Amino acid sequence: LVANGQRNVWGYNPLAWAAPHSGYASSGGDPVAELRWAVQRLHEAGLEVWLDVVFNHTCEGSLGVGPILSWRGFDNRATYRLRQGADGLVDDDVTGCGNAVNTCSPSVRRLVVETLAGWVRDYGIDGFRFDLAATLVRDDHGPTADHPLLADLAASPALDGVKLIAEPWDLGPDGYCLGRFPEPWREWNDRFRDTARDLGRGVATPASVAAALTATADVFHGRPVTTTVNAVATHDGFTVTDLVSYSDPVDGGHGQRSWNGGLEGPTADTAVSAARARRQRVMIGLTLFAQGVPMLVAGDEIGRSQGGRGDGYTLTSDLWGVPWPDADWDLATWVAEAVRVRKQFSVLRRPEWVGVGDGRIAWYDGDGRPMAEDLWHRTNLTVDPADDDGSGDAGPSGLDGGPVALQGLLSPNPTVGETGPPVLLVVVTGTGRTEVLLADGEWVSVIDAAHRRPELTTTTITRLTMDGPGLVVLTRPAQWVVDRAR
């Protein structure tokens, strides 16, 4: 980074795991007292505080290249994963950061557990998200659900009830571990992310959308429905705004499963801008209305952009912060209403798994008929799905062409605490305009991604004209009361 004139604005190269960063304090003088005060105030406001923790590597870099600051000098073999190279021991770098911490070492595991316990005990932290968590559960054969670190964390009284989220992968062999972390772990779900992005660029299949709406049940079934953490964007990669504005990262790197809508970057074209805004609402709406735990990155609800840059850790400060002066308050209002809708309808917050084939969700096509097998896998991709690398090669025509409407009728199950009216979720995949005959009678629109701001209405409808990609939530007219004070 230094050679390229860049700096690591994230600080994702730690060494002192238990030390709060003084630069985050307002005065820079007493980060301990200020963090305690901040956590207390946030708790009083009803907000939990979680830490994103990096135990998978340190700032000491690669053996013989990086600095020797602490553990590399004290006990290199115990601290880091090493393997035999052509000229001796080298780092087994499964993180892509120069080294990988060796959690098979009892002393390292003890340090991890005591560090987490200290954050809970001394600051009141409520939960942790573990960066590249697959590295932390590696033994000599690869990641394993029987790793002693998992047992040590489960046995710690200080961590009882503390929430744990895994980023369930790393760069090493067998490093993709989605669905393999045991209770009580929750997991970032990249399959949901990819489907949400494909929906936003107009190439998702109805089958993939149905799986996303039902919390990827084929992977997580048998565990709590909250196991999946659903997000369309994270601190890594594009923001939601950039997903609809750039087909390629301006700083190079991998494809982001994005599509610019025909023009790259910012544009004054009103039609392109309106379509981009709708696609943002569709992706965020899928995140908020799917089973599981929704996650939004700060700033995505107000249209934050990184200028098409995918490597967020090297951004300059003007691109990294939340741009309040330039906030898209129309988007913020729509997102706030979507959150309220999720809270209002219990079938959008189901306490147990409801899979694609479960009778509590009935699936219909755009003509209001049960979904036919040939429609489930319709795509609007301009390349064969098997060859798609997520580079954004999507457009208004493809292998099968045209939009496909998927309707999911969610009926409440009172025996598990679901109350209130049913909900009809209508999602249009692909691009282009389509007519939708609503399934099972009359409905009233609750929230529609086609509208720049929520439109509160009690008008009864039996059909919709929708542009793809699109998303609408509807409920029964007799059970919908509009609060005009909102």
Q: Is 114 a catalytic residue?
A: no
Q: Pick the catalytic residue from 167, 300, 328, 388.
A: 167
Q: Pick the catalytic residue from 60, 91, 126, 131.
A: 131
> Domains (ranges, CATH) in the chain?
22-346 (3.20.20.80), 353-479 (2.60.40.1180)
Contacts of 108 (CB under 8 A, 6+ apart): 78, 79, 101, 102
Q: Is 131 a catalytic residue?
A: yes
Is residue 179 helix, strand or coil?
Answer: coil
Strands 404-410 and 361-364: antiparallel
> For residue range 172-190, what is the model confidence (pLDDT) as tens digits?
999 999 999 999 999 999 9
**Cα→Cα distances 358→87, 205, 339, 409, Å:** 58, 19, 25, 11
Instruction: Quote the crossing angle between the two packed helices 206-213 and 190-200, to the nearest 10°.
Output: 130
> For residue range 119-170, what is the model confidence (pLDDT) as tens digits?
999 999 999 999 999 999 999 999 999 999 999 999 999 999 999 999 999 9
Q: Which residues pair with 80 in a beta bridge?
A: 101
Upstream peptide bond of 184 is cis (omega within 30 degrees of 0): yes
> For residue range 322-362, what is the model confidence (pLDDT) as tens digits?
889 999 999 999 999 999 999 999 999 988 887 666 678 99
Q: Is the pTM of this model over 0.75?
A: yes
Check whether 423 has a pLDDT greater than 90: yes
Average pLDDT value for residue range 2-13: 78
pLDDT score for 118: 98
Check whether 383 has a pLDDT greater than 50: no
Contacts of 83 (CB under 8 A, 6+ apart): 89, 90, 91, 92
